Amino acid sequence: MDFRVILEQALPCGLCVGVHIPPGDDAITPAVLARLHPDEAAHARTLHPRRQPSWVAGRLALRQALTRLGHSAGPILADDRGAPVLPGGVRGSISHKRAVAVGLAASTLEWSIGVDIEQRHLGRQDISRYVLTEAEQAELAGLSAQARGQAVMLRFSIKESIYKAVDPHVRRFVGFREVDVTPLPDGRVEVAAHLAQGEVFTIDAWWSVEGEHVLTCARAQPRGSPLVAD
């Protein structure tokens, strides 16, 4: 079945659902669009054919996660920062990578959340100098090329999740070097944020390996100023 659920996992940040993205330019059929809210289907039709499958899969994944938590939602469209717009009392985040899209949902007012999924292995381009702080580069310097590549992608994914979690508060681009992350063997992450504009957060993050992918999530709360209801 196209756009089938291939992952359903309770993460520390919320419930995560993964949906398979089928290959090919003809993946978006009338039957697939019928699974969306009419407003979502209308928006999907405006997208470039290469963008449609991942966008549709992300909405199906997040709606499934919301349903599993007992929430209903209208159309899951995007705000001016690209994040999914959801009803009060629930938070959500979407990520996609080639053949899979994931949606993370949580019943919370206190935390904003983020999710990311990435291929485990570094691609042809070495992105480490864009992603890693000086301290992180030094930490990975002694690893083999393969181990270092996986470590870079893991840190990239963790930072992506963190940036999604803090974005509702800072509403600006956050550079990769504004956060140091240290993944721990038990799936937790030590986070040291030094945001450029002095914003201070309580940030928690986690990671896991799912086949050929790394899956990460994060939650954030402005320190001393909890997120209030919409």
Tens-digit pLDDT string for the chain (230 aa) = 589 999 999 999 999 999 999 987 788 999 999 999 999 999 999 999 999 999 999 999 999 999 999 998 899 999 999 999 998 889 999 999 989 999 999 998 899 999 999 999 877 788 899 999 999 999 999 899 999 999 999 999 999 999 999 999 999 999 999 999 999 999 999 999 999 999 999 999 999 999 999 999 999 999 865 444 44
| CA-only gyration radius of the chain, Å | 18
pLDDT of residue 124: 77
CA–CA gap between residue 37 and residue 174 (Å, rounded): 32
pLDDT of residue 1: 58
Domain 122-201 bears CATH identifier 3.90.470.20: yes
pLDDT of residue 168: 95
pLDDT of residue 122: 79
CATH architecture of 5-109: Alpha-Beta Complex (3.90)
Residue among 175, 224, 182, 166 at smallest CA distance from 196: 175
In this structure, are residues 192 and 102 in contact, taking their beta carbons and an 8 Å threshold?
no
Q: Which residue spans of the chain are classified as CATH 3.90.470.20?
A: 5-109, 122-201
Identify any residues that bridge with 97 across adjacent strands, giving them in sequence order: 100
